[in-house]
């Protein structure tokens, strides 16, 4: 709000732990990121070594030092809705609160470096973007790609998503489909005169129960696929034999498959049924061979693992930019009432990024 003192003071900005708490304590549920974007923008525009632009509630700030390569550090500003976990609290070595893990501790990494590292060894583009937690049409990186694609140009990108301090390479693709069974309506008192579409869906569930998912290794990273029913809808009334049942399935596929190949696989699994794809997003290959990636892995000092899930690294991969996930938060507690992040992992991760970029 105008006239309000910015909690992102120089002392807070210098310490990624204090900065994490300060960011968590600015409420920023998806589509309500204006206040946090205003506060971060105020900081960025005060830094003479950065050129800063804003699109909606997404901020891009970049160095222009004439380095041979450019890297991206990106983190989303939004959180899921609050769940009696705002503002932040500290218990022992943990900071609790909405967004601590996913992903304001990662955002703190990038903002701390933007402030305290004016001459990194690569040129750096920092993204602080809106609406990652909701539909793609609101996603700040997606909107930037449409309006200012040149902002995304880089040789390598790090998404500061929660990975519990390890490097998670690439990401899985994801797809949803509706598998339909059809029947014939009848009064349930005379059910033999109809054909029950819900009963027919048992064959769909049998195929899912017997499905053997692939495990794929790419560049030393393992990706385990999954095909699961996530929702079933059928029936029109308590006394009617239903004539339609829809089983919604979600396919998480390894990044060696394109969405088209994933479509073909799902149709093969449900051969004989009516299948309609409702949405899909390509995965991202590990991207471990780019020179900045090799040096980043050396700074981390541990082998990467495959990302089991979809993240915005796929947006960079689609542009031909290799990208990794790296952040201090535990993805297993993201979005939970007891969401938290370990203070030690914040300090270790911040030191790793500084080793890489300084």
Give the separation between CA 23 and CA 30, rounded to whole angstroms. Answer: 14
Please list the residues that pair with 245 across neighbouring strands.
181, 234
Question: With contact defined as beta carbons under 8 Å apart, do 71 and 60 qualify?
Answer: no
| Kind and range of the H or E run holding 215 | strand 215-218
Q: Which two tokens stand for residue 291?
A: 């020179």
Taking Cα atoms as reference points, which of 78, 168, 170 lies closest to residue 132? 78
Do 214 and 254 contact (CB within 8 A), yes or no?
yes
Question: Count of residues for the chain?
Answer: 358
Task: Identify the helix (H) or strand (E) that includes residue 274.
Answer: strand 274-281
Angstrom distance (rounded) from CA 327 to CA 163: 5
For helices 343-357 and 291-300, give the axis angle rounded to 10 degrees.
140
* Dihedral angle over CA of 288, 293, 297, 303, nearest 10: -10
Active-site annotation, residues: 78, 132
**Rounded to an integer, what distance in angstroms lies between the CA atom of residue 19 and that of residue 109?**
9
Which residue has tokens 């017997």? 210
Asked if omega into 164 is within 30° of 0 (cis), the reply is: no
And the tokens for 156? 């390598």
Cα angle 224, 327, 112; round to 5:
160
- Residues 17, 18, 23, CA angle at the centre, nearest 5°? 100
- Residue 296 sits at φ, ψ, to 5 deg, of -65, -45
SS3 44: helix
């Amino acid at each position: 709000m105008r006239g309000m003192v910015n909690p992102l003071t120089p002392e807070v900005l210098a310490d990624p732990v204090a900065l994490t708490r300060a960011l968590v304590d600015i409420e920023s549920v998806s589509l309500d990121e204006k206040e946090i974007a205003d506060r971060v923008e105020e900081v960025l525009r005060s830094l003479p070594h950065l050129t800063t632009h804003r699109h909606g509630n997404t901020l891009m700030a970049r160095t222009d030092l004439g380095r041979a390569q450019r890297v991206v550090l990106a983190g989303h500003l939004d959180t899921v809705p609050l769940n009696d976990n705002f503002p932040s609290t500290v218990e022992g070595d943990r900071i609790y609160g909405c967004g601590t893990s996913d992903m304001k501790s990662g955002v703190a990494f990038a903002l701390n470096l933007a402030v305290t590292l004016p001459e990194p060894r690569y040129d750096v583009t920092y993204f602080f973007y809106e609406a990652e937690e909701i539909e793609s049409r609101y996603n700040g990186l997606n909107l930037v790609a449409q309006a200012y694609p040149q902002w995304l140009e880089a040789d390598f990108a790090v998404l500061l998503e929660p990975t519990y301090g390890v490097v998670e390479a690439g990401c899985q693709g994801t797809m949803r489909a509706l598998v339909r069974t059809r029947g014939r309506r009848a009064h349930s008192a005379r059910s033999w005169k109809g054909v029950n579409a819900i009963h027919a869906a048992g064959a769909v569930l049998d195929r899912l129960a017997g499905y053997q998912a692939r495990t794929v290794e790419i560049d030393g990273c393992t990706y385990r696929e999954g095909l699961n029913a996530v929702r079933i809808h059928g029936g029109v009334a308590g006394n009617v034999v239903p004539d339609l049942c829809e089983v919604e399935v979600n396919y998480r596929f390894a990044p060696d498959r394109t969405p088209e190949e994933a479509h073909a696989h799902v149709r093969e699994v449900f051969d004989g049924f009516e299948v309609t794809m409702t949405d899909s997003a390509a995965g991202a290959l590990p991207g471990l061979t780019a020179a900045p990636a090799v040096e980043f892995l050396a700074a981390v000092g541990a082998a990467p693992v495959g990302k089991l899930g979809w993240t915005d690294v796929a947006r960079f991969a689609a542009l031909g930019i290799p990208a990794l996930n790296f952040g201090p938060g535990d993805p297993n507690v993201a979005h939970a009432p007891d969401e938290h992040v370990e203070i030690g992992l914040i300090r270790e991760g911040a030191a790793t990024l500084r080793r890489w970029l300084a």
